[in-house]
């Protein structure tokens, strides 16, 4: 379980997260929606320990993420994270990109790492692209490569930060299909997304962010189809118009 208790985060005088409380249970898909700048992406980075917090606590499987004695490198093996940008190493093939972290971080043999990478590339539909360099892949393929790279560390949780926002519209579907596949396999996921239809159909719950706070959280269909809060209604009216 991921537990977020009264978390506050600021960049200087700019308060980005203001007292957020959330729990994400094993096997759940939680979608975070809201306007750009409302704190969704920053929260993911706090969960992964990429950003410090000023107040509150985040626990992953009972381990306090920001405690001084926490081994973040070890903890992050539980938390796969995929960003808007693919960040693949351009001089490495798809297989080499995916095999790198298991070999360096987990210190498994080169042969084991390549076998693991091959398995996960097949898993996301890139089994025929093992020897291809990232520049020769489409945007959707590069994003699926990034997902395979995260999965190769065999995490317990996956964090997705607007993974389709940089893609051409015709490429979005193949990435969302990969997320749907992961859900069907029971992967616990926190997904920051502007795709409200995907959030409603694939998410178990939705949390709506406004100005660094959670304005509403509930079952996905309820938040989209029958929001309780006026701020949520106004946001959905704009984005679904």
Cα distances from 86 to residues 3, 58, 142, 192, in angstroms, run 28, 26, 6, 16
Asked whether the whole model's pTM tops 0.85, one would answer: yes
26-62 pLDDT per residue, tens: 999 999 999 999 999 999 999 999 999 999 999 999 9
Convert 160-202 into a string of H (helix), E (strand) and C (coil). Answer: EECCCCCCCHHHHHHHHHHHHHHHHCCCEEEEECCCHHHHHHH
122-141 pLDDT per residue, tens: 999 999 999 999 999 999 99
Q: What is the CATH number for 51?
A: 3.40.50.300
pLDDT value of residue 206: 98
Mean pLDDT of the 148-164 span = 94
pLDDT at 241 over 80: no
Strand 14-24 with 2-11, pairing: antiparallel
For residue 199, give its domain range: 2-239
Query: Helix 110-123 vs helix 94-104: angle between axes, to the nearest 10 degrees?
Result: 130
pLDDT value of residue 159: 97
51-98 pLDDT per residue, tens: 999 999 999 999 999 999 999 989 999 999 999 888 899 999 999 999
Domain count, the chain: 1
């Amino acid at each position: 379980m991921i537990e977020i208790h009264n978390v506050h985060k600021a960049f200087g005088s700019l308060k980005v997260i203001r007292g957020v409380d959330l729990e994400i249970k094993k096997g759940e898909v939680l979608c975070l929606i809201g306007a750009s700048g409302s704190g969704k992406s920053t929260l993911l980075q706090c969960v992964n320990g990429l950003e410090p917090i000023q107040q509150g606590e985040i626990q992953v499987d009972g381990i306090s993420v920001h405690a001084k004695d926490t081994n973040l490198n070890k903890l992050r093996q539980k938390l796969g994270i995929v960003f808007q940008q693919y960040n693949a190493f351009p001089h490495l093939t798809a297989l080499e990109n995916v095999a790198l972290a298991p070999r360096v971080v987990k210190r498994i043999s080169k042969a084991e790492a390549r076998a693991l990478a091959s398995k996960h590339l097949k898993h996301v539909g890139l089994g025929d692209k093992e020897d291809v360099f990232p520049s020769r892949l489409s945007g959707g393929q590069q994003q699926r490569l990034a997902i395979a790279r995260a999965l190769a560390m065999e995490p317990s949780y996956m964090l997705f930060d607007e993974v389709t926002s940089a893609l051409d519209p015709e490429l979005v579907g193949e990435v969302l299909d990969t997320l749907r596949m992961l859900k069907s396999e029971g992967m616990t996921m926190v997904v920051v997304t502007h795709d409200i239809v995907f959030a409603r159909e694939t998410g178990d719950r939705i949390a709506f962010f406004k100005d660094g706070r959670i304005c509403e959280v509930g079952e996905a269909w309820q938040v989209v189809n029958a929001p309780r809060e006026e701020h949520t209604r106004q946001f959905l009216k704009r984005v679904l118009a």
